[in-house]
Structure 1
Amino acid sequence: MNPALHLAHATSDDTTRLARHVNAAYRGDTARQGWTTESDLLDGQRIDEAGVADMLALPGAAMLLALNDKGELLGSFHAQVKGSVVYLGMLAVTPTLQTQGVGKFLLEAAENYGRQHGCTVSKMTVISVRAELIAYYERRGYHLTGATEPFPTDPRYGIPKQPLVLLVLEKALG
């Protein structure tokens, strides 16, 4: 892992750069430079500035940022505490930096965020056809619960190119 990573919490001043960062990590030609692209699954954007602002305003929520020594945004991850569960979502790492420990750094930070707020379970959803991403989380202690959720139909989160469903993964936090 890159020892120069620093953790920060996003504020409302970060909405523009976060929307740009997340969209570059998930969609389009830029996203194809990494292994976690959704470009073949969805058209359109992943999120807009209003969506980022909405996520930042959720009760118990934090958008965790991985920054380098220059303050450049390398990755982000949303965490929201709901009772004893921390819900994680929208892990976004600069495509050219994927496989260099930024995602692992943010996953550990998000789980710690949950622990600090008394959570005993970490929960997330992953698009069912993303086998490589599911395997990534399984290597980090997550397991498929057997539960599914419908993929959002709001086009501001993307337009599916095929039918999609979300699989629920969980991990006990110790």
Structure 2
Amino acid sequence: MITKATLEDVSSLNKLINSAYRGESSKKGWTTEANLLEGSRTNEMELIEIIQDPKNTILKFTEGNQILACVLLVEKEQQLYLGMLTVSPDLQNSGIGKKLLFEAETHAKAIGLNAIVMTVISARTELIDWYKRHGYTDTGAREAFPVSDIHIPISEGKLEFMVLEKKIA
């Protein structure tokens, strides 16, 4: 079931997101960033701020009262920003990510937006290829990767974001 996350979900979301992106647990899945970054992907304070902002929606995929996946959707002026698409490392390649992408499109249409944009670390070619197979295209735009106490690069190469976009009818 896909529903909107609430403040009561923050702790579970934090554990899920960090387990899928960073650390040893993330290496079970194919979407890990553990070879590029260390530290946390997010924290509870950031998630609280995200949920409290009315322009943001976190959709969660649950089964048996357990959050197994989520995605952040942010209303921008003419487009919906999609971020933190997360599926539990044990369940990646099961179709849950596709379901969340579809729900993101439904959400965009419901609020009158006809495009979805996202940023992906340009070194994550397998992930970029997955998004391209789902209708996203490279806009050619690049953004600097934010280094902070949460996002600690361990890769030799320079990290940057690639901006992807999908037009929706």
Residue of structure 1 equivalent to 2:60: 65
1:51 and 2:41 matched = no
1:34 alignment partner AA: G
Which consecutive segments of 4 or more residues in structure 1 shift more than 2 A? none
Measured in 1, the distance between the counterparts of 2:6 and 2:146 equals: 25
Residue of structure 1 equivalent to 2:36: 41
Q: TM-score, normalised by structure 1?
A: 0.93
Residue of structure 2 equivalent to 1:12: 7
Offset at 1:23?
0.2
Measured in 1, the distance between the counterparts of 2:36 and 2:49 equals: 24
1:17 alignment partner AA: S
TM-superposition CA deviations, 1:72-125 (whole Å, max 9, x none): 111000001122200000111000100001111111111211111000110000
TM-superposition CA deviations, 1:18-42 (whole Å, max 9, x none): 1111000101111000000000000
Written as runs of structure 1 = structure 2, the 5 A alignment for 1:75-114 is 75-114=69-108
Q: TM-score, normalised by structure 2?
A: 0.96
Offset at 1:16?
1.0
Determine helix, strand or coil for the equivalent of 1:155: coil
2:152 alignment partner AA: I
Determine helix, strand or coil for the equivalent of 1:80: strand
43-52 or 56-65: bigger deviation? 56-65
- Give the alignment's Cα RMSD to 1 decimal: 0.9
Measured in 2, the distance between the counterparts of 1:153 and 1:117 equals: 32
1:32 alignment partner AA: K
Residue of structure 2 equivalent to 1:170: 165
2:115 alignment partner AA: V
TM-superposition CA deviations, 1:1-52 (whole Å, max 9, x none): xxxxx11111111111111110001011110000000000001110000111
Offset at 1:59?
3.4
1:44 alignment partner AA: G
Structure 1: state its 5+ residue gaps. 1-5
Residue of structure 1 equivalent to 2:145: 151
Determine helix, strand or coil for the equivalent of 2:30: coil
Measured in 1, the distance between the counterparts of 2:141 and 2:167 equals: 16
1:83 alignment partner AA: E
1:170 alignment partner AA: E
Offset at 1:58?
2.6
Measured in 2, the distance between the counterparts of 1:110 and 1:53 equals: 20
Offset at 1:154?
2.1
Structure 2: state its 5+ residue gaps. none
Mapped contact 1:21–1:94 kept (Cα < 8 A) = yes
